[in-house]
Structure 1
Amino acid sequence: MATTAAGNSAWYKAKVKAVTSGDCVVVVSVAANAKSGVLPEKSITLSSLIAPRLARRGGVDEAFAWESREFLRKLCIGREITFRIDYTVPSINREFGTVFLGDKNVAMLVVSQGWAKVREQGQQKGEVSPFLAELLRLEEQAKQEGLGRWSKVPGAAEASIRNLPPSALGDASNFDAMGLLAKSKGVPMEALVEQVRDGSTLRIYLLPEFQFVQVFVAGIQSPQMGRRAAPETVVEPEVTVDSTNGDAPAEPRAPLTSAQRLAVSASAAETSADPFGPDAKFFTEMRVLNRDVRIVLEGVDKFSNLIGSVYYPDGESAKDWPLELVENGFAKYVEWSAHMMEEDAKRKLKSAELEAKKSRLRIWTNYVPPVSNSKAIHDQN
């Protein structure tokens, strides 16, 4: 059952952190009183719209799904918006709302270009955009003009479906990482960041092939995010019967008690994140998640993960995001991957780490310089 919010006229300001499909954005607070660090976020689906669905890993896109997502991503990512929740659907844990970019209604922009269709009425009364009439008018206009998903060009729908190669994550045999290194080492490659695993690890699409790979940033390492430990499989042995005499074993093992089950459950609990792990991840997400970036490949590991430098656009210039992480105390310099880099890049990272240590920024909050064993010259005999 839907819960309508039509009577609630509250509008909020936020910044778009991610665009997950052609009709859904993830936003974070930009309130003046918002605390620093990881900010509250909310997923908003545009009211009364249905965009084509992107493929999950190993699946197939609906026609025009990628173009639909790309239109909304390029329109909104990283920008401040104003939004209001129109209704919620608790059964699917989703909130539907109206989003404005400046004075432009985002849903109207999407529909006018043909990248989503309009749903006149949801399953429950109240599941409707307050701008439904105008959305329907714009949809009809887009259909007449053959825009977006309403294209009248023969074969356009089939051509819009991406041919996704197998993901390199979890199966190194799906990707010739060494071949890519031999061909592209030191050459900037276009990519799109789809996920941020932690502050210094990205999961990206290499474009235009849409090869999905994991990238470790060369020369640095951020605090880890923790992970869920693999659940321990507990086998309760059955009480077997000796076939020779029909007797049970002398000391059969009883089923686990409630206390034992609780202990097993506790052993499989999540491992906690390192200090500043979530902050480093959020710092990275706000700069590169769902952004176009350039990867300069430095090396690969045995699991076909790429190791490289990453740059993202900032106006007319390209920002060195790994250097920003170190400068802000969200990452440390690591030699195991830095040795692949040029000397000037290594020097910048080392210098940035030294300054962060001096200022005791974030991961260096409790940093204590090592005690020197050397003596002043005048004290030496």
Structure 2
Amino acid sequence: MKALTWHGKGDIRCESVPDPKIEDGKDAIIKVTACAICGSDLHIYGGIIPGMEHGDVLGHETMGEVVEVGRETSTLKVGDRVVIPFTIACGDCFFCKRGFFSGCERSNPNKAVAEKMWGYSPAGLFGYSHILGGYAGGQAEYLRVPFADTGHIKVPEGLTDEQVLFLSDIFPTGYMAAEFCDIQPGDTIAIWGCGPVGQMAIRSAFLLGAARVIAIDTVPERLALAHAAGALTLDFLEEDIYERIRDLTNGRGADACIDAVGTEAEPRSSAYAMIDRIKTATFMGTDRPHVLRQAIQCCRNFGTVSVVGVYGGFIDKVPMGSAINRGLTFRMAQTPVQRYLQSLMTRIETGEIDPSFVITHRAGLEDGPELYKTFRDKQDGCIKVVLKP
């Protein structure tokens, strides 16, 4: 089959790889009908995710049609149309039973490596480093789905691939970011990053009752899309974000702040951000937490900082004194996608939201390597790429 594979920093190829096979009775194989390039895939493209190996198949936003099922798979049959969460979960362990699917204790066969980095291992992920299982991803013609009874949601008749594809990751992630804010009537929510996850967080914040959303970015197309959703937009290269948020909230600060950027904050945004960039380039640091710092400073006393941007290692110069003395609450997670699937599918079915609004580019797998570059460089108005094998 054809698939997008990793061969080093900036080197993504579309090439032939072996077809996936059933390896366990709980597996299923799907024929991929749509997949997407995620912002977190760009961290792999940029060479900052450890544990990648040459030839690894990428991609964790995937859906398709079931073509084969293992003997122990009870809820799927050949022909079912399904969306596959990026988090791989067994459904039966301590964490899965509590709805914390991204903390699954059984789905990462390389958990000993993850434990050395983080203390304990999260769940395995599709297409995202051997530290998290080394599972082949879904930017391919076919995908093996482990623990398939837990790792899917069936698509109702009448919904298109593009309407439901983002249930695999960015819609639940953006929704969780807003849910973490415990939004109350009249609240102002500030969101850093108007990429695909940020766009979903903006709309989710309004769905959950936010009175006002402040969206922060510098890319014109992203700011325009945020404005179209009703957000008040700020360009961080043109304005002092802290002072503007103070002005907009009568000096109090935002009720909650969402970091939808994570480790690769724009180095032009401040002197600290440039120092972060230098540290990572010279292997003196692993992450660039400028947005996290600013979100803490801009949040009101006893407010919430919600973090869904990807961080991988250690960060410094984080103003914990500010957070502690002002009573901030931190909420963060790798999204337990399965926890949100049915409720968000219902929101799509009832027309509350159509996540396909974020798509700007559509292509086949063979165009994937070039579109990785287009997405990374924010060229051609690119906000979200969908590939159709």
TM-score (norm. length: structure 1): 0.27
Task: Write 1 or 2 for the structure with the bigger share of helix.
Answer: 2
Specify which structure has the bigger relative contact order, considering alpha-carbon pairs within 8 angstroms and separated by 6 or more residues: 2
Larger radius of gyration: 1
